[in-house]
A and B are shown apart, each in its own frame.
Chain A
């Protein structure tokens, strides 16, 4: 078990370009979460999946953002027409099933996006 893996670790892009990030959760985990963390702030929830179904999206997730988890394994987060305000650390987390006392979220190391 190698934990939650995110790729790339760093991404610099020009404003207006599209970017895509990948997250590979812990293999037996059914739930997958995306968070965004700006400098000096705590992470903010964006969206989550139960297997391949996207069950909730935060109002922070504008129309330019889309997330998928096509086979219930890895997930991608795409940002279209990036803006400078999108610069942040994007964190992925996974949990076994997301309910009850014996599950908690395990986080990846994040993808740091810089929009110039």
Chain B
């Protein structure tokens, strides 16, 4: 069985500050891990993914995440927040045999203050 926990349903940062969104997962098989972003009344856009190999993955819009197996974590970071980063962020897990069947966390709303 797989599950995802996102710590903090709301995160507020100032423009230019570090963004850190936390995600912990549980998986009985090697996980594939994803971060998606959702703007109001829109679908989900893939930010980045971890499948195998390098544990630090870089995505679009300056985001990156690090897979830490020992901590079962996949936290999302961005060095400097922009106003346009304000959105809902979802962490998700799947596995290699069915990468599109995703188990999502409950989401974190990122607010960026001017």
Contact = CB atoms under 8 A, between A and B. Distances in A.
Interface string B93-104: 000111111111
B23 to A, nearest CB: 11
A33 to B, nearest CB: 5
Task: Determine chain B's interface SS by DSSP, over half rule.
Answer: strand
A107 B44 contact: yes
Interface string B28-55: 0000101010000111111001011000
Interface residues of B, number: 28
Contact of B44 (A48, A91, A100): A91
A51 B76 CA distance: 34
A104 interface: yes
B42 A95 contact: no
Contact of A103 (B44, B90, B99, B102): B99
Interface of B: 4, 9, 32, 34, 36, 41-46, 49, 51-52, 90, 92, 96-107
